Structure 1
């Protein structure tokens, strides 16, 4: 139990249903959908779509999603890949011929076809109960009536506003400025898009006037996106991957997401007596940082579109993890591994819902960088993701930019299971941080016995490219200890990610926790 003398949050407990996400309105909508007879999938989609209105710098209809879920009464966890592909005409050589070494973040070459809408429509039909009309109704209402801008959203909006270009400035700025805290943001164009999707399904988004609006915005900037690219976009059902740590089964979405990196990272940490360390001390931070360097180097070399990469089993191989663990010096930082092959970002939303039948949904949804590419369609104001910046231009690399390929993705939903039973859908936002965040969250729970909310609240550290980022929750003494053994310390301007989780207890009670680094909450009934 937390120290009630110190400011903080308690876990939220309920029996009939629970949602944890990064904005209160989305959590409330998810609970309302459950109350209307919807299941966890209906609620998760309704909340996720609304997050695109509440947090448009993080996500929206022009983005991608990944989902893990189980059906009511089943222990089997299913996975859905809702990430889009590069246009068929995309080619890395064209960019190399222009003298580029990476995909520009704010141009049409970074825009992959949005995959989330197709995934949401597919899941609503195959797993939901209420249908698209009921699921999308709350987001349509808030897109028209408006949403008061929350404090963390306002902070991020101001930071990312410079990315907005052309029509995007008209749709996402108010009188040319980022909205202030409490100012009401409206998106009437997106309300109309959602009405069309509710009435006509995914085809309303991927063909006709709405698709033409997106294609025109890209073509004006030299994009090679075609009507066929949009028409042929489809989500993919796939199989989750698993890793065991201290009696807990960590379930991740397979590539092109980076979830396998979290499993490899925990497999490396198994070779150290983490539980004997101070959970908030320098020794733990150092070992995690060194393991992160090694796991992320493997990620950068191998993770890509599953049709273009070698088998993911190498990330799950305990012998490989043992060999990597042997490279770690407990008393000295090693030189940085290869630079990240994707541009680091921190802009994603995550929502998790569990219903009374213990159907659990873990859903993550993003447009990549703040406001994505900064390009929005003129009529409807659909912000287009810059997920294509996750490709590399290195010739022959499995993650090399190419027509019809899915890029390596940073967003990863997570689930924990134990003794064959789903026990916790969870997610940690924060771009490249996410595998480290998953591993640290699992370690907080298992190695140190921290409570659910305490595991989320605990200060974070992340080896990122060439620096070891420490949140301000760590003391200067800890920073000096790490600096003395070779780490280049940096205190980031914004906190590292955000997390949400719901524990399904053995007695059926639901226990929710939500990250105070964001504006959201856990709600149940």
Structure 2
């Protein structure tokens, strides 16, 4: 009997040990297997937590959030198209295949490595508030003390994505736009099978629309466009959108003016007038994307690039500047020290985010100060390694539904492109017969006249979506992104630290267990929630969660939370190849040729 008990205890102990993360002093990627997962087999190469191997190809690569869109991008590259052609083709297809995170009614940002100039270029293709609606008129419509609604016409800003396509194509396109858009048009007419994660989001969006029907002025067009027999399509079901095929065909034939000065803009104008919305034809006719100078900071020999505000990319740079003062590798990946200092850096960066990030055309922003190493040093001094901090907002709402994609071609052109309608599918409003939903990005304006991000006619709202790019020694290293509202800067930092500090490859860097902090103040004027809450994936050891709680953090291990979705392409100069990885948590796919 005693022998049986001893054998039983030994078995229990062995079982418990298999669920403990194995760490070494060097903490290389191969030494961080993560937690054992019941029912999962063991990998034969690389880190055991990785969902798949990285994709390695010589001539070109693509990584998107939907497998068919990745195939389209690769097909465009194989026809002689550029990485920009491939990115536009994939984005157009995602507007059909993943309308839960993208579409022609939304905005776009891109970072491009131009091998001819040997530099990173930035495009801000985000839209502006209606020129004919003042802050006073908006607040009067809302009523005393009411915020901008999450859905309906008052949250709609000019969609900038299509203009972004044509701006990118004018500088870097090789194939005619009609050929670039042809795959998306064909799939819209003939249909495609829905993928699992997107199907779940599709159903969730329509549940939300039903709940918010009192603020969405018109919903029948959305139901006719996106439901089949009155129900959201399910995974594997064939979905068609002939209206979207016709709209894309107008672009293929008439270019960007078909959208902003032609039939599409006039249709939206008439629709808005019919439902009482403020957006007008003149807002479309005057819209223009903006080429911007990306902002960068150095991190352990790498240069990390972001689009300047009205986006939140500066938060990534601010977090990295703070973390550069710590030996993260010696702390150990996803250790209590590592997560604690990362979260504290996030809180400090997000305090500035809530205070300063806004459209620089309307307010002077201290960008150089915010990303300086001296400023990071003063912020770093506020971190107590033994206690959770609660920084206030005055020291120098959102959605996780976005698409990001990376493409790269044989000539060395690399693209990081992000696109979104903001809250999932967007505002709930589908203009008559166009096949796409208008974004609700205007919800992210503040209404306090003293705030830099306050609503104003013709102003761009604060944006969560950010592409990322990394160079080293003036050569491209990575085009990457992590989708997911306020998770995006946090995710950017985690995947970069995984690669740079912990030696993970491009796929492992995204597959490693993540943390997410929520509760910081928002650029909309919403106050913070004290120290906030740290959410952890199950791959973070229970002992780490306990240690964080002892430092005063509120911690929840929360499977199923959206910890961001990731795509990236890394340039391997030594071997003359691209290495690509994509999100294993959802429907993502990477490929090359």
How far apart, CA to CA, are the structure 1 residues paired with 2:391 and 2:440? 26
Cα deviation, 1:236-292, whole Å, max 9, x if unaligned, reads 111111111011110111111111110011111122221211212222111111111
Say whether the 8 Å CA contact 2:101–2:422 is kept in structure 1: yes
- Post-superposition Cα deviations, 1:27-51, rounded to whole Å, max 9, x if no partner, equal 1111100111111111111011111
- Per the alignment, residue 86 of structure 1 pairs with 129
Residue of 40, 43, 59 corresponding to 1:4: 43
The equivalent residue for 2:549 is 483
User: Which one is further off, 23-32 or 370-379?
Assistant: 370-379
Which residue, 444, 449, 455 being the options, matches 1:401? 455
- 1:128 counterpart residue number: 173
Q: Give the SS at the match of 1:77.
A: strand
The correspondence of residues 47-446 of structure 1 with structure 2, limited to 5 A, is: 47-97=90-140, 98-164=143-209, 165-309=219-363, 310-335=365-390, 337-338=392-393, 343-446=397-500
Distance (whole Å) between structure 2 residues aligned to residue 95 and residue 330 of structure 1: 45
Aligned twin of 1:512: 580
| Residue among 533, 538, 554 paired with 1:467 | 533
Q: Which residue of 1 aligns with 2:564?
A: 497
Contact in 2 for aligned 1:426/1:500 (Cα 8 Å): yes
| Greater CA drift, 442-451 or 34-43 | 442-451
Residues 481, 221 of structure 1: CA spacing in aligned structure 2 closer, same or farther, 3 A cutoff? farther
Alpha-carbon displacement from aligned partner over 1:20-77 (angstroms, at most 9, x marks no partner): 1111111111110011111111111101111111101100000000011123444211
Farther off after superposition, 352-361 or 478-487: 478-487
Structure 2, unmatched stretches of 5+, are 1-28, 31-41, 210-218, 520-531
SS of the residue corresponding to residue 304 of structure 2 reads: strand
Counterparts of residues 8-47 of structure 1 (less than 5 Å): 8-47=51-90
* 5+ long unaligned stretches in structure 1: none
Identify if the C-alpha distance between structure 1 residues 71 and 61 changes in structure 2 by more than 3 Å, giving closer, same or farther. Answer: same
Whole-angstrom distance in 2 between the partners of 1:485 and 1:88: 49
Residue 492 of structure 1 deviates from its aligned partner by: 5.9
**CA distance in 1: counterparts of 2:500 and 2:199, whole angstroms:** 35
The question of whether the paired residues in 1 share the 8 Å contact of 2:401 and 2:483 is answered with yes
Inter-CA distance 149–398: structure 2 relative to 1 (3 Å threshold): same
User: Please, which moves more after superposition, 468-477 or 312-321?
Assistant: 468-477
**TM-score, normalising length from structure 2?**
0.85
Deviation at 1:14, TM superposition (A): 0.6
Question: In structure 1, how many angstroms separate the alpha carbons of the residues matched to 2:461 and 2:133?
Answer: 12
| SS class of match (2:68) | helix
The equivalent residue for 2:5 is none
What is the CA deviation profile of residues 109-141 of structure 1, one whole-angstrom value per residue up to 9, with x for unaligned ones?
Answer: 111100010110122122101121011000001
Q: CA deviation at 1:101?
A: 4.3
* Corresponding residue of 2:14: none
Which is greater in Rg?
2
Deviation at 1:338, TM superposition (A): 4.3
Taking a change above 3 Å as real, the CA distance of residues 492 and 367 of structure 1, as seen in their structure-2 partners, is farther
User: How far apart, CA to CA, are the structure 2 residues paired with 1:492 and 1:218?
Assistant: 41
TM-score, normalised to structure 1, is 0.96
Contact 1:158-1:178 within 8 A present in 2 as well? yes
Kept after mapping to 1: 8 A contact 2:268/2:281 = no
Question: Aligned-pair distance for 1:312?
Answer: 1.4
